[in-house]
Amino acid sequence: MVPMDLSITFPTGPEYRQSLSDLKQLLFTEKMGNSDQILASIKNADVGHEANLRFQFLEKREVPTSEVNNIFYEFQKRHKSMNYNDLFKQKDSASSFFKRRKRTKGETVYRESKPLVKNQAHPALIRESYATIMHRVMTPKIIGNNRNKKKILKSLFRFMQTAKTESFSLLPLVKQINIESILWLTIEDQELKLIFVAKLMKWMFRFFVLLICRYFIITYVKEERVFCFIKELNRDIKRDLATKIKKGLLEECSEDSINSIETRMYMVPKADGFRTITRRKYPADELKSLRKSLRVLDFLFDKYLKTPDSVFNDAYVDVTIEANESSQKYYVTVTDIRDAFGSIIQNKLFDILTALFELLPEILEFTAFYGGKNYKYGFPQFINGKGGKRVTAQKRNILAMIEKTIFNTKVAMHNKLYNVCKGVTQGSILSSKLSDIYYLSMQRKYFADFRKSGRIFSHVDDIIYITANEEFAKQFLNRVEKGIPEYNCWFKKSKIVSNFSRDVAVFGESLENTIKFLGWSIDGTTLEAEPYVKCSIRHSISYSASLDIIKLKNRLKNLESIKVKEPALSKYINSNNKILSNINVIARLQAQRCFAIANSLSDTTILTLDAIAETNNKIMKKIKKITNWTKTEQLEYSKEIRHIFWKAYYATFIKKSDLFPNLIKTFRKLTRKNNVHKKRKIRKFVKRSSLVSKRARHM
């Protein structure tokens, strides 16, 4: 069999509709191509270099053309008569897809699933629409039979559920297709016949993706792919844009040509509205100045605003030690700032920065070295790196660049130019650090009393307050209820969560014993923490079909995404049983990440047992270091931890046993070898009576 490249990915980014322009020109324009051009586009589908060369060598004398044109002419006729607008438009009963009926014995039960964003098309609606297209447009003569149609639809639905940059291989589908049932494919050479079917499947899936890109806007909520109706979403975007102009957040201007503005603004749907994000390609000189400005802001934030106990992952252990020593009840409150970037008062932010910049000398010294693609800068410390050199910049120039970022930001959207009058645009290089400086300055002024009797941790717009003083906890809720008008800071009603109740409830306040904060789920009674994973880890991986063993190991050794941190593993926070439970979660995340990366590789033999064992050993060393177990405890739990990891790998990889058969056998052996809960086989001896034993002797 000739090796073929049948991997496809969902188009991403704002330019995703342009990625299928050739097929769009052929099928969805006034001057549509004829059946000959459709057949030619199928032949031109890319299925790998070797397969393409083999196909070009044989197609001239073996691929049929005249008898096939009639079949594709019928497809084109059905395609023209199909009303896709009615098929994919948002119906009055579209909400019924989120309330699916399940018939039982004489009863009808409704199962509700809340849409992630407004104007979301339920996957069931798209699945039913595609089933209709397969029935009405794709004629049985093209596909072969109904069994092939079901297999194509099943693969299509799996393809829709892939992660953002995850590739999907059509090779298993091509192997499952009953080629003999496709009667019009009268090719004697079986190898050429298989290549032609592979080209047909790739062309067909591009056709299905084109339909989605034409009638839906693809976005990602909590790393999950979401399809939104175009007309309704564009209507809401225009309405939200008009609201921003009315409130004075944006101001339409026409003094510059829109083509000269490189900053583009996008409104990305989210659960409670839209998130405004800007994207820009910076010129080289401006990018260097912005990187220097960012280093200065980092220095000011770390030295003058940030406190040693403000990082949750590092300082939460101190909170639990105090709680264990005092044996008092601790009160926990979590809240979220509403529209954190858009609520910033520009003049207030610049006054804060001006006061901080007075603490710096007039001439600022940086250490610059070339780190890959761009220059990186260290301030004021030197950064170890090859080619490092000392460069200087004037303080007023750095402040002027930050001032320009705050006050003179112009964005383009819908062929119009707008000036950002309030807030800071999310997506720029400095926006995240400017937001941290603004809100941490607010906390130092208004939350100073609360810090005396408790701990406040914050990250951008998320804030958590932990205290043993009930009065201060109630006062903090009162402060959250009133907001901080001086900083234009208001808190979301739906995100105020606490583990205690008051005599008078705060608006929107919810009482829960489990508090979720920055990917952690905190027990409101014991303060134990466990990793909180919102979605499958495969959605947060950047995929690449070509990875060498070194890059693969580096990907697997990244401990940030699998929560190998103190809140999950410290014995001062959690009991030993809880730590083992968290290790179970970590092992499962690591195995899922390894499987997702390996499954996307073009050459799966790169993944070896030695690479997995090496990364597992690094993770287990880190676990032992964080837990602070004694030598006795380490000996007691080391074998059990190994068993947890190999069991997680076996449970994950067994789902596709045909891809990694040798690894799966090894995982099973290592799981059994390290099983500390394995019960010994006890032989049961039945006592025979003396009479039976005597008879046995005489026999």
**Closest listed residue to residue 196, CA positions, set 33, 2, 341:** 2
- Tell me, what's the pLDDT at 699? 40
DSSP 303: I
Identify the residue whose tokens are 């175009």: 230
Sequence-separated (6 or more) residues with CB below 8 Å from residue 568 = 520, 529, 530, 531, 574, 579, 582, 585, 586
Beta bridge partners of 251: 419
One-letter amino acid at 4 equals M
Yes or no: say if 369 and 382 are a contact pair by the CB < 8 Å rule: no
Closest-CA residue to 75 (of 148, 132, 134): 134
Q: In the chain, which stretches have pLDDT less than 50?
A: 92-96, 101, 105, 108, 110, 382-386, 504-508, 679-699
Q: Which of 317, 553, 590 is nearest to 457 (CA)?
A: 317
Sheet holding 374-378, edge to edge: 374-378, 363-371, 389-394
DSSP secondary structure string, 166-234? --EE-HHHHHHS-GGG-TT---S-HHHHHHHHHHHHHHHHHHHHHHHHHHEEEEEETTEEEEEEHHHHH
Residue 571 Cα distances to 303, 328, 580, 626, 645, angstroms: 31, 19, 11, 8, 20
Tokens of 513: 């014993």
Q: State whether residue 362 is helix, strand or coil.
A: coil
DSSP state of 260: G
Q: Fill in the amino acid letter for 277.
A: I
Which pLDDT belongs to residue 418? Answer: 86
- Does 172 sit behind a cis peptide bond, omega within 30 degrees of 0 on the bond before it? no
Task: Show the domains of the chain with their CATH numbers.
Answer: 7-90+113-227 (1.10.132.70), 284-517 (no CATH), 528-693 (1.10.357.90)
How does strand 497-498 pair with strand 510-511? parallel
- Asked if 361 and 445 count as a contact pair (C-beta separation under 8 A), the reply is no
Q: Summarize pLDDT for 423-459 with one digit per residue, the tens.
A: 888 888 899 999 999 999 999 889 988 888 888 988 8
Full-model pTM? 0.81
Q: CA 521 to CA 501: how far, in whole Å? A: 19
Q: Phi then psi for 670, rounded to 5 degrees?
A: -70, -30
